Amino acid sequence: AEALELSGETPERIDDFIKKGRRRQLLEHSGDFSACHTIDDLSGLILYRAMELTGARNGYLFLSEDTGMPPALAASRHLDEGSGDEYSGNIVIRVFDTGQTTLTTNAKLEKEFTEFRSVSRYGLKSVRCAPVRYNDLVNGVVYLDNNLVTGLFGPEDADNLALLFSRATLAIENRLLHEMLRKAGNENKRPRKSKADQANLSAALDYLVRHYSEEVTRDDLADDLGLSPDYVGKLLKTHTGKTIREQLNEIRVKQAMEMLADPDRKIIEIAMKVGFDSMRTFYRVFFRVTGMTPTEYRERG
């Protein structure tokens, strides 16, 4: 109180002063969003501000670039270096579907969340997961957590977070629109496939389908087709918009989705069978492609 020159003031007066200071700081820094030139930079800044405001140790931003599509992980931040992405995909999907904020005191002990395996797996405690809206449309989710403290997040953060997100969503929409127009421009500039390109592209995709469980490199693919590695990489990127790795991962995920229909097959077995060398990578890629974790996909039947 002395540092704030509020000596002698009531706790309520001090608390009100601090809240107003936070709000003023948010307004001053919200202009930083418009200065971000990429969606990655913007996502990182939004998480930084949200974590700074709430005391969260981990933050995740999920965005849905297409109406009706589930959100994909756009960015994550961690106070502890080396920390991996450990969140509840079920909570993310629920908030995105309902448009309602989820607030937990100690998630791993709350009956409402114990049915989510990720909650117990990661020992989740304080979680605040809120929708990001633009024109009443939910186009993303901000997920904050702190596994060291219970009851960290409270309703008193709601107003400031709402202000933060209202400023952020306009910047997100502008950035996504810019990206969409850029991609559309690239699509229009995409050269027509010659007969040779068409044949080579079909052969390349066929090779990936036949060898999806292997560690395929650009050189492997080029060698099999009798083409140069540079040409093969450019061929796929130019005519599909995806790298060889992205194509391979999508094929792997589609194969994994079929295998997950068998309840007797373990998820770790499926991950290794389709070519992933770690569960962390499998979960991350699967969520990016489908909008849910392998466990959640299986539970939804």
Residue ranges of the domains in the chain?
A: 11-186, 191-299
pLDDT string in tens for the chain (301-residue length): 444 455 555 656 655 555 566 556 655 555 577 677 777 888 888 898 889 888 899 999 998 765 556 788 888 999 987 788 899 999 998 998 888 999 999 999 998 898 888 898 899 999 999 988 766 678 789 999 999 989 888 877 787 788 787 777 777 767 666 665 565 555 555 556 678 888 999 999 999 999 999 989 899 999 999 999 999 999 988 888 888 988 999 999 999 999 999 999 999 999 999 999 888 788 878 887 887 889 888 987 6
User: Is 3.40.50.1820 the CATH classification of the domain at 11-186?
Assistant: no
**What Å distances lie between residue 262 and 49, 70, 210, 256, 265, CA to CA?**
43, 24, 22, 10, 6
Closest to 32 in 3D by CA, of 41, 22, 21, 19: 41
Structure confidence at residue 1 (pLDDT): 46
Biggest CA-to-CA distance, the chain:
83
Structure confidence at residue 242 (pLDDT): 84
- The neighbouring-strand residues paired with 144 are 59, 128
Residue with tokens 């990655």: 40
pTM for the full predicted model = 0.56
Contact between 33 and 46 under an 8 Å Cβ cutoff? The reply is yes
Q: Report the half-sphere exposure of 57 (CA within 13 A, side-chain side).
A: 17
User: Is 3.20.19.10 the CATH classification of the domain at 191-299?
Assistant: no
Phi, psi of 241 (to 5 degrees): 80, 5
